[in-house]
Amino acid sequence: MIHKYKLMDLNIVLDVYSGAVHIVDDVFYDLLDKIGESFDKSQDYSNIIAEVGKKCSQKEAEESFSELCRLNSEGQLYTEDFYAELAQKWNKKSVVKALCLHVAHDCNLRCKYCFADTGEFQGHRCLMSAEVGRAAIDFVIKNSGSRKNIEIDYFGGQPLMNFDVVKEITEYAKLRGKDSGKNFRFTITTNGILLNDKIKEYINENMSNVVLSLDGRKSTNDRMRVRLDGSGSYDAIVPKFIDIANSRNQDNYYVRGTFTAENLNFADDVMHMADLGFLQTSVEPVVAPESESWALKDEHLDIIKAEYEKLAKLYIDRRREGKPFNFFHFMIDLDQGPCIVKRLSGCGAGHEYVAVTPEGDIYPCHQFVGNTDFKMGSVLTGEFDENIKSKFEKSNVYTKPDCEKCFAKFYCSGGCSANAYNFNKDINKPYRLACEFERKRVECAIAIEAIKAMEGLD
Amino acid sequence: MTHVKTLNKAVLKESVKRGGCGECQTSCQSACKTSCTVANQKCEQLKK
Q: pLDDT digit string (tens) for A11-22?
A: 999 999 999 999
**Nearby residues of A287 by Cβ (< 8 Å), 6 or more positions away:** A115, A367, A419, A422, A431, A434, B34
Between chains, do B39 and A337 touch, taking CB under 8 Å as contact?
yes
In what helix (H) or strand (E) does residue B46 lie, and over which residues does it extend?
helix B44-47
Tell me which chain A residues have a C-beta less than 8 angstroms from the C-beta of B35. 284-285, 412, 415-416, 419, 434, 437-438
pLDDT at B31: 66
Q: What is the band of A214 on the pLDDT scale with cuts at 50, 70, 90?
A: very high
B48 reaches A (C-beta below 8 A) = no
Q: pLDDT digit string (tens) for A411-450?
A: 998 999 999 999 999 999 999 999 999 999 999 999 999 9
Residues 282-341 of A with CB under 8 A from B: 282, 284-287, 328-329, 331-341
What does the alpha-carbon distance between residue A429 and residue A51 come to, in Å, rounded to a whole number? 41
pLDDT at B48: 56
pLDDT at B29: 64
In what helix (H) or strand (E) does residue B4 lie, and over which residues does it extend?
strand B4-6
As a dihedral over the C-alpha atoms of residue A193, residue A223, residue A355, residue A397, rounded to 10 degrees, the angle is -140
Q: pLDDT digit string (tens) for A80-138?
A: 998 988 887 777 789 999 999 999 999 999 999 987 777 777 778 899 999 999 999 99
Residues 27-46 of B with CB under 8 A from A: 27-44, 46
Between chains, do A445 and B26 touch, taking CB under 8 Å as contact?
no
pLDDT at B7: 94
Give Cα A12 distance to the centre of its chain: 23
Whether the Cβ atoms of residue A388 and residue A361 lie closer than 8 Å to each other:
no
Query: What average pLDDT score do residues B6-34 get?
Result: 79
Q: pLDDT digit string (tens) for A338-394?
A: 888 889 888 899 999 999 999 999 999 999 999 999 999 999 999 999 999 999 999
B12 reaches A (C-beta below 8 A) = yes
Residue type present at position A134: R
Whether the Cβ atoms of residue A226 and residue A107 lie closer than 8 Å to each other:
no
pTM of the model: 0.95
What does the alpha-carbon distance between residue A43 and residue A39 come to, in Å, rounded to a whole number? 8
What does the alpha-carbon distance between residue A448 and residue A7 come to, in Å, rounded to a whole number? 10
Between chains, do A337 and B16 touch, taking CB under 8 Å as contact?
no
What does the alpha-carbon distance between residue A437 and residue A166 come to, in Å, rounded to a whole number? 35
What does the alpha-carbon distance between residue B37 and residue B27 come to, in Å, rounded to a whole number? 7
